[in-house]
Amino acid sequence: MDAPRPPHARIATIEDCGLSNVIVQRYASAGITRLFEWQAAALALPGVLEGKQHLVYTASTSAGKTLVAELLLLRRLETHGQRAKALVVLPLRALVTQKAAELSKLLDKTGLTVAPYMTAVGELPMPRRLNVAVCTFEKAGMIVQSMSEAGRLGEIVAVVIDELHLLGEGQRGANLERTIARLLLHARRPASVSRASLASSPGAVASSATPLESTADDASEGGGSGRGGGLVCGDSTALTLGAAPERRGMQIIGMSATLPNLPDLQRWLAPPCAGVAPSIMLE
């Protein structure tokens, strides 16, 4: 795969996002070249494309929510090299099967690999040759736990969570909350592993963020300084959740068609006790 490029200062197209030519061409072959206004605005929020900020956003059904998450996930994988990994967390097994097939087609012959994880399907911890695990809520928890126990949680550089509003629904929501909490704990620990462990493959491009190694039971020691931002664009809302880039190699991207408690999620994902300034939603 050819190397990713720096993103453009003004984002309006897929090409402006700084992805490799082969990925840009795959989207173009599917008829996707330009971004909707709200998509471009979300990606242009400070630190988002660079992986320095988490992103939580809402948009109506069929508004193109998934594309934003995909672009960020692919940007992170291409930036960190062939050993980097990402999770796409979905609520239903049928969606896992569908999304795994879509991503496999998109990434065919790019050097990036995809596998579904659900029920008894999926090797734990993730094989080193695997880049993207498309998984159910329950399987995501198992992946994160197994990668943590293996001392490899720092290989995960992006986590996409669809239907984030389900956090508040019963045992499944509690399981998802537990998984996100473990990821946040990992992300707030000081960097302890060289970035070279991820970007060791030929042609890998170094990132401004440093991958972390985590034992999930360690206590958080606080984060760096930073300030989030946000936007409201039509029926779409996006918030960045601040954190200093040198303390995190993992970006969390959460989305839903409805998130009435965005401010609560904002405080949870970037609490003041972690040394992170609250995000601001622009009305």
- Walk along the chain (283 residues) and give the pLDDT tens digit of each residue: 666 666 666 899 999 999 999 999 999 999 999 999 999 999 999 889 999 888 998 888 888 999 999 999 999 999 998 899 999 999 999 999 999 999 999 999 999 999 999 999 999 999 999 999 999 999 999 999 999 999 999 999 999 999 999 987 889 999 999 999 999 888 777 654 434 344 443 333 322 222 223 233 332 333 333 334 456 555 566 666 654 333 348 999 999 888 877 778 877 877 554 444 333 333 2
Question: Any idea how long the chain is?
Answer: 283
Other C-beta atoms lying within 10 Å of the C-beta of residue 18: 20
Rounded to two decimals, the pTM is 0.79
d(CA 74, CA 151): 23
Give the relative orientation of helices 21-29 and 93-106 as an angle to the nearest 10 degrees: 120
Q: Which two tokens stand for residue 164?
A: 């984030």
Which domains are present in the chain?
49-274 (3.40.50.300)
Q: β-strand 236-241 against 54-58: which pairing, if any?
A: antiparallel
- Cβ neighbors of 141 (< 8 A, separation 6 or more) are 175, 176, 178, 179
> Across-strand partners of 50?
none
Q: Which two tokens stand for residue 167?
A: 């956090």
